[in-house]
Amino acid sequence: MHAYIKKTLATVIERNPGEDVFIQAVRDVLSSLQPVLDQYPDLKEKSILERLCEPERQIIFRVAWEDDKGKVQVNRGYRVQFNSALGPYKGGLRFHPSVNLGIVKFLGFEQIFKNALTGQDIGGGKGGADFNPRGRSNREIMRFCQSFMTELSRHIGDTIDIPAGDIGVSQREIGYLFGQYKRITNRYESGVLTGKHFDWGGLPGRTEATGYGTVYFARAMLKARDESLEGKICTVSGAGNVATYAIQKLQQLGAKVVSCSDSTGTIHEPAGIDVDTLRQVKEIERADLSRYAQMRGGSTYLPDEKPWSIPCDIAFPCATQNEISGDDAKALADNGCQLVCEGANMPSTDEAIKIYRQKNILIGPAKAANAGGVAGSALEMAQNASRYNLSFSQVDQRLQEIMEEIHGNCCHYAAKFSDPDDYIAGANIGGFLPVAQAMIAMGTI
């Protein structure tokens, strides 16, 4: 390991005790950069790595709100504005009990490079709260969102920081957040949040963009090898927007998706997952996947299990970080998996990535493969700024083009600095260089 990388990583570990996923994300990026540092020694002279690994701003705040029983609940809110070298901070809000500062920093750090890969003028940031919308009434969620935005509104704006949705934050939550922002500021600043409903400033296709984009990236990887998705057996984890629309697009392109999952277990349906039933269960009934099995006779519900032991050609982890362990990766290899395309943020552990490489499983890393969501957000920002509404077909066409461009950039930087098949290095370097060059151009800030 390059001495500069080793020193920077040691500093990150010392400054961020207990923030394991953030340190994992930093290590993943820095480990790809040795050939870049060899070619561009001024990166060390300008302390780019140290500056890049330290957020520009970290905001932590109390969120007090009243539940339906009249009891005041207290949660903790976060916004990490990580890097604005390429544009205003851009990244989602996650509402989930697991949210803490380390997770938000990991997500914000990843967002820097993901956003850079899209070629759009957006920096990296992330936020959220340790609030769980599951089981809460609409009025409780509204009151929480209003309290959360009362503080967050001080720190965001359409040229400052533009949040979006993530786990636990859908169009419903974005609506409540935007309503409170409008109430506080007395401005209809539609570009301050993305992921809005298309009836009032949202982008047709934004909900589908992350899942669709992940599939488009996998298609590009296969096309580069004279293959297609037609006839491929795919396993998908998750049952939220990313997973649902990845399943939908895979089936439209001729693949067969035989699994989905949530925190309670996995559905295995050899004939193929039915997207309409999945949406009924998760979006309308807001039930767990055991309900799906009750509605679909040909499916099997596997409680407390992941989908990675189900035979497949391609796996699409679309749930959460570090969901594929080393043992899961071995199970994928033993069951014929040839490609893992990551729809979630950093879903593979370090051990899993080692196994992929040992078993010659091709990896579509999350920075590149799930960048369709933020690409869609950038299109929504452009739509809001121009007040010219795009159609679903226009958005989908542009999304395909962006994902092809990201794939091309990954291949270019992988071939230039590493192995042509090393999409991880290609994504890391392709995301890093534009940010580093912009930071140098702007001086010491």
CB 245 within 8 A of CB 208: yes
The answer to whether 424 touches 28, Cβ cutoff 8 Å, is yes
Give the dihedral sign, CA 208/209/214/220: positive
Is the Cα torsion angle 397, 403, 409, 415 positive or negative in sign?
Answer: negative
For 157, 214, 222, the CA distances from 397, given in Å and listed in that order, are 28, 14, 19
Handedness of CA 321, 23, 26, 418 (dihedral sign): negative
CB 411 within 8 A of CB 420: yes
Q: Which residues contact 362 (CB under 8 A, 6 or more apart)?
A: 221, 338, 339, 340, 356, 421, 423
Cα–Cα dist 214/316, whole Å: 8
Full strand arrangement of the beta sheet holding 57-66:
57-66, 72-83, 123-129, 89-95, 161-165
Catalytic residue flag (residue 306) = no
Asked if residues 316 and 221 have their Cβ atoms less than 8 Å apart, the reply is no
Three-class SS of 227-250: CCCCCCEEEECCCCHHHHHHHHHH
Active-site residue, selected from the candidate residues 105, 114, 126, 249: 126
**Distance between CA 376 and CA 437 in Å, rounded?**
25
Annotated catalytic residues are 126
